[in-house]
């Protein structure tokens, strides 16, 4: 019991850590909603054949991955030079939201490609800066390994929730437009809540 209790970090006692955890959870949830249903989106909304959709997923994830890596490096360097984190997280969430709205309303191959590129840019900036911000809000030096494990739950849980949430949104609340609209709102909320973190610029 004492071991399990050690993984609980009171949001009242460590509010910055709690807000950082929540923003990471929301940003990863928005990202997961996109990736998990991309193949079906290309087939159902963009109207590609099965073979074209499979190739399309490869092209889009490649473009997304490349943009993520490049902007993670550039965003991390820029953030370090300015000594600021939160503004980068906010911008990254807004860029990701624009990408998701493109996917929601421009259901063409060109729209999907532009959305993938923008999403990679947004998530790349977020990934680099968020990791740096997390290290600044860890509660204590003695428990950093455990605390980073707690933060990692915010990466893993969205992968569990996203399939169920996505299936419900697609089947019951309007299809892919609703799915990506909700994902955009989740990303905006996740990025804006970073303003509640007080100990990081």
Q: What is the pLDDT of residues 38-95, one digit of tens each?
A: 999 999 999 999 999 999 999 999 999 999 999 999 999 999 999 899 999 999 999 9
Secondary structure of the chain in the HEC alphabet? CHHHHCCCCCCCCCHHHHHHHHHHHHHHHHHHHHHHCHHHHHHHCCCCCHHHHHHHHHHHHHHHHHHHHHHHHHHHHHHHHHCCCHHHHHHHHHHHHHHHHHHHHCCCHHHHHHHHHHHHHHHHHHHHHHHHHHHHCCCCHHHHHHHHHHHHHHHHHHHHHHHHHHHHHHHHCCCHHHHHHHHHHHHHHHHHHHHHCCCCC
Q: What is the pLDDT of residue 132?
A: 87
Q: How does residue 128 score in pLDDT terms, banded at 50, 70 and 90?
A: confident
Q: Model's pTM, two decimal places?
A: 0.89
Q: What is the pLDDT of residue 127?
A: 87
């Amino acid at each position: 019991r004492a071991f399990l209790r050690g993984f609980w970090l009171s949001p009242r006692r460590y509010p910055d850590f709690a807000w950082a955890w929540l923003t990471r959870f929301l940003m990863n949830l928005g990202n997961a909603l996109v990736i998990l249903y991309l193949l079906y989106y290309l087939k159902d909304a963009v109207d590609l054949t099965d073979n074209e959709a499979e190739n399309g997923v490869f092209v889009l994830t490649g473009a997304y991955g490349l943009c993520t890596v490049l902007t993670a490096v550039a965003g991390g360097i820029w953030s370090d030079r300015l000594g600021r984190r939160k503004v980068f997280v906010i911008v990254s969430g807004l860029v990701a939201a624009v990408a998701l709205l493109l996917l929601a309303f421009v259901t063409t191959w060109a729209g999907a490609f532009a959305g993938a590129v923008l999403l990679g840019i947004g998530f790349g900036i977020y990934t680099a800066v968020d990791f740096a911000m997390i290290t600044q809000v860890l509660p204590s030096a003695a428990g950093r390994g455990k605390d980073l494990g707690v933060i990692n739950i915010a990466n893993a849980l969205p992968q569990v929730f996203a399939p169920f949430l996505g299936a419900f949104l697609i089947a019951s609340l309007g299809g892919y437009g609703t799915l990506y609209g909700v994902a955009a709102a989740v990303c905006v909320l996740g990025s804006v809540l970073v303003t509640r973190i007080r100990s990081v610029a």
